[in-house]
């Protein structure tokens, strides 16, 4: 069950900080609601210095930890293939419209990021 405080925190987070709607290719790693590990490719829909949002097919619980690996655009990395790696906790999950649809997951970052070469 999603608590109202999570929604309030998420809305306050978006109001206070500048973020970007960047459609970057992302790999999400974590554990689903059944305790099974998963790796899912998706596209980042929003990112700021505190968190990000993206769409997932896997169901994850609020409070769970996810690792995201974002492909950085070559024009920002001097044409090098680099990835941004960061972990965060799920703070909000947008309700499903039907059983076969993806749901939007929002996480708050919990650690410093790592940038590594692709490969």
CATH number at residue 102: 2.40.10.220
Query: What confidence score (pLDDT) does residue 1 get?
Result: 39
User: How many Å apart are CA 77 and CA 73, to the nearest integer?
Assistant: 7
Question: In terms of pLDDT, which residue wins out, 1 or 96?
Answer: 96
Is the pTM higher than 0.75? The answer reads: yes
* CA separation, residue 45 to residues 21, 33, 36, 106 (Å): 6, 22, 25, 10
Question: In terms of pLDDT, which residue wins out, 99 or 71?
Answer: 71
The lowest-confidence range among 45-49, 62-66, 90-94 is 45-49
Domains held by the chain: number: 1
Q: Does the pLDDT at position 72 exceed 60?
A: yes
Q: Does the pLDDT at position 80 exceed 70?
A: yes
- CB-based contact 30:107 (threshold 8 Å): no
Q: Does the pLDDT at position 60 exceed 90?
A: yes
Query: What confidence score (pLDDT) does residue 106 get?
Result: 95
Domain containing 32 equals: 4-117
The lowest-confidence range among 14-23, 27-36, 97-106 is 14-23
Collapse the DSSP code of 11 into the 3-class scheme (helix H, G, I; strand E, B; otherwise coil) and give the result.
Answer: helix
* CA separation, residue 12 to residues 8, 9, 16, 104 (Å): 6, 5, 6, 18
């Amino acid at each position: 069950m999603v608590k109202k405080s999570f929604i309030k925190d998420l809305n306050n987070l978006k109001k206070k900080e500048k973020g970007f709607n960047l459609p970057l290719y992302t790999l999400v790693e974590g554990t689903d609601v059944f305790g099974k590990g998963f790796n899912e490719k998706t596209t980042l829909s929003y990112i700021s210095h505190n968190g990000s949002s993206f769409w997932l097919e896997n169901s994850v619980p609020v409070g769970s930890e996810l690792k995201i690996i974002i492909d950085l655009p070559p024009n920002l990395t001097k044409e090098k293939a680099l990835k941004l790696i960061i972990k965060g906790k799920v703070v909000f999950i947008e309700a499903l419209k039907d059983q076969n649809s993806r749901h939007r997951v929002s996480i708050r970052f919990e650690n410093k990021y790592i940038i590594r070469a692709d490969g």
